[in-house]
Amino acid sequence: MTPGDVDVAEPGVQAVHAATAERARLRAEAAELGGPSPLTAYRDVAAGGIDISRAHPGSLPQFITGRSTLLSNLFRDEVGLRGARLAADRITAKNTELRTVRGLDAVHLAVGLCTWRIGGVDYAAPMLLRPLAIRRHYADYELKLHGQFFLNPELVRIARDHFGISIDDARLAALAYQNGVFAPQPAIDMLRAATSSVDTFSVQPRMMVSTFADVGTAMARDAHDLDHPMLNALAGHAADRERVSAPGPQPSAAGPDDRAPASDNLLLDADNDQEQVLARIAAGHSLTVSTLPGTGGTQTVINAIGELVRAGKRVLVVSPRRSTLDGVRHRLSGIGLDGFAVSPASVRRDLVRAIGRNEKAAAPKLA
C-alpha cells in the first residue's frame, strides 16, 4: 500500500509511508559515511599527500608511463624526500585500513587541483585521477601507476548540478594525452574555459598522490530507493513485517545415505547441518547463520553460490572485510570456477580472464 491509496478525509493531513522517517535516517547516515569526500573536500596539506609537482623532472617520464619508480628517484633532495616519506607512511597506513575494512583501493595520482566556493563554503577537488599502487621497498617506497586517467565524477556532477555546466568527461580525459605522451595542460585549459563563467572556480596545475576514497556519495546514491519489504518491515511497516515474518515451507534435505549419488551436486563436501542450511537457502528463505572460525562457514557460502547459480540466479557476496572476499575467490579458484568471482572494481579484467579461460578449456572426457 502506498500513501496514494489512503483516503484522508481531514484537509491538511498528509499520508506517508510508515518507513519514510527511517529511510531518511538511513540516507543521511549513508551520506556521512567516511566523512567529507576527498573528491570534493580535498585537504591540501603536506602530510596528506605526496606533491609530485615538486619531483625531479628527470624521473617523471618513467613514473607517468607506468613503470615502477622509487620515491628516492622522484625526490632527490634530502628535505623533499623526508617529507615525501612521511606522507607515504600515512598514505600506505590509510590505504591498508581502507582496503581491509572497506575493501577499497583508494590511492590515486591526482592531476589538477580545482577550487571553488558555494554559499560561502570552500571546496577543493582533484581534476584527473589514475589508480596507483604504493608499497614499501626496504627503506624506500615504490610507486606504480595502473589503468588510465579519468575525470573526477564528483566534479562532473557539481559542474552540472550547481553551475549548469556540462562537461564531456571522456573528451577531457583524452586531452591529457598528446600523440601518446601525457600532457595535461590542454585538459586543464579546457576545464578552465568551461568554468570561466564561475568567478570562484580555478584550476591549479598540480600532481598529488593521496587516498581518494569517496564512501558516502556512492552509499547515498545506492540508498535512493529503499522501498524493499525487508527494510520496510524493519522500519515498522505492519503489512511488510507480517509478510516477511510469515513462515515458509520447510524444506528437507535428504542425507547422503538416503539419496542417489547422481544427485550430489554440491561444489564442496557438506555435513548434514550445512545441507539443511543450503536447502533453506535454495528454497528462498531469509536466514542468519552464525558459525565459529574453522567450522565451514566459507565452505557453506561456496556451496550456496553453486546452488543459486545452478538455479539461474545472480549472487552478490558482500563482506565487511576484503580478506573474506579474497577467501571466497580463492576457494572458487581452487575448484576451477575462477569465472564465478567477478568484482565490481575489476569487472572488465575479470570478464576478459574468464573468456580467456573458457577459450582454452578442453572438453571433459566423460567416457
Distance between CA 103 and CA 101 in Å, rounded?
A: 6
Angle between helices 322-334 and 297-310 in degrees, nearest 10: 60
pLDDT given at position 225: 81
pLDDT given at position 352: 79
pLDDT given at position 256: 65
Residue with cell 515458509: 248
pLDDT given at position 17: 75
pLDDT given at position 287: 84
pLDDT given at position 130: 94
pLDDT given at position 82: 93
DSSP letters, 289-317, are ----TTSSHHHHHHHHHHHHHHTT-----
Q: Which cell numbers hold the place of 294?
A: 574453522
Domain ranges of the chain: 31-220, 262-360
pLDDT given at position 132: 94
pTM of the model: 0.71
User: How confident is the chain (367 residues) per 10-residue block, as mean pLDDT?
Assistant: 53 72 83 83 85 91 92 93 93 87 85 92 94 92 92 92 91 86 90 93 94 82 81 83 78 69 78 85 84 84 89 86 82 81 71 76 67
3-class state of residue 143 by DSSP: strand
pLDDT given at position 246: 78
pLDDT given at position 367: 58
308-to-30, 159, 281, 299, 312 alpha-carbon distances in Å:
29, 43, 8, 14, 7
Distance between CA 282 and CA 141 in Å, rounded?
A: 49
Distance between CA 322 and CA 344 in Å, rounded?
A: 13
3-class state of residue 345 by DSSP: helix
